[in-house]
Amino acid sequence: MDGRAIAIFDSGMGGLTVLHECLVTMPNEDFVYLGDTGRFPYGPRPLDEIRGFALEIGRFLERQGVKMVVVACNSATSAALADLQAELEVPVVGVIAPEAEAAVQATRNRRIGLLATQATVDAGRYGTLVQSLDAGVRFFPVACPGLAELIESAEPYGAGTVEAVRAYAGPLKQAEVDTVILGCTHYPLIRHVLERAFGRDVTLVFSAEETARKVAETLARKGIAHTSEREGVCRFLTTGDTEQFRVRGERFLQFPIAEVELVSLAELRAAA
């Protein structure tokens, strides 16, 4: 039995969707969640810059004594997963491979779409993984600039979000995809908006459930699961406004957050 916590990080609130599924799947594990809201969003940034941010956070979290790091950010996974796995001593799990595998299994007409940030689309990791699993799949990536920011705004379900989703869904509907990967952990927070845009005939693949399953499998395989029956605890960290994170985090996580700790960017840079 390994009682150390599992670390999860994201550019902001989106990774809370992954944390939620992990809490359901592994209720006796402890978790540390870091939202880098002080540098949100990652999506429009160059991949090299995102890679630097991810390495800072990964090294910082490893120094907190965690047993695993989960990169609950598609942009950071695209930019830095291999570097994190090479640099850190603990196992590192990303959100892209589990989604790609689930999408290939789900598609019936072998036409798969992707909605993601510009950085994730530019990195091309989804297309490479999908093609490696089924070379006959037609893959249609669509970048969604501004959508994550709308989701973290004061009106995540407002008219602006609905209009943006319709616009980004348009090319995928024209391509007649039957499966769409939601390649940003923020997007499940507006699941009902996306479901209405695509309809029942299109399968939406969310990273949270698939990633939680991958985390549980990795813990079991490496023999580092926490097997006690007591309920785990969560610790929340942010590089931005702690009260704003607490209020919005509770709304998205649908779970009370008693305290959020501030981590300065200087502390992250020092860890690097």
What is residue 154's predicted lDDT score, i.e. its pLDDT? Answer: 86
Do 30 and 175 form a contact (C-beta atoms < 8 A)?
no
Q: What is the third-level CATH fold of 96-207? A: Rossmann fold (3.40.50)
Do 4 and 67 form a contact (C-beta atoms < 8 A)?
yes
Q: Do domains 6-94+209-271 and 96-207 have the same CATH topology?
A: yes
Do 140 and 175 form a contact (C-beta atoms < 8 A)?
yes
Do 41 and 105 form a contact (C-beta atoms < 8 A)?
no
Q: What is the third-level CATH fold of 6-94+209-271? A: Rossmann fold (3.40.50)
The 10s digit of each residue's pLDDT in 160-216 is 999 999 999 999 999 999 999 999 999 999 999 999 999 999 999 988 988 999 999
Give catalytic residue positions: 73, 184
Cα–Cα distances (Å) from 85 to 55, 167, 235, 244, in that order, read 10, 36, 23, 32
Domain spans, the chain:
6-94+209-271, 96-207
What is residue 254's predicted lDDT score, i.e. its pLDDT? Answer: 86
Mean pLDDT of 121-135: 96
Choose the weakest-confidence range: 38-47, 83-92, 215-224, 263-272. 263-272
Q: Token pair of 211, please?
A: 């990633």
Residue 206's φ and ψ, nearest 5 degrees, are -100, 145
What is residue 218's predicted lDDT score, i.e. its pLDDT? Answer: 96
pTM: 0.93
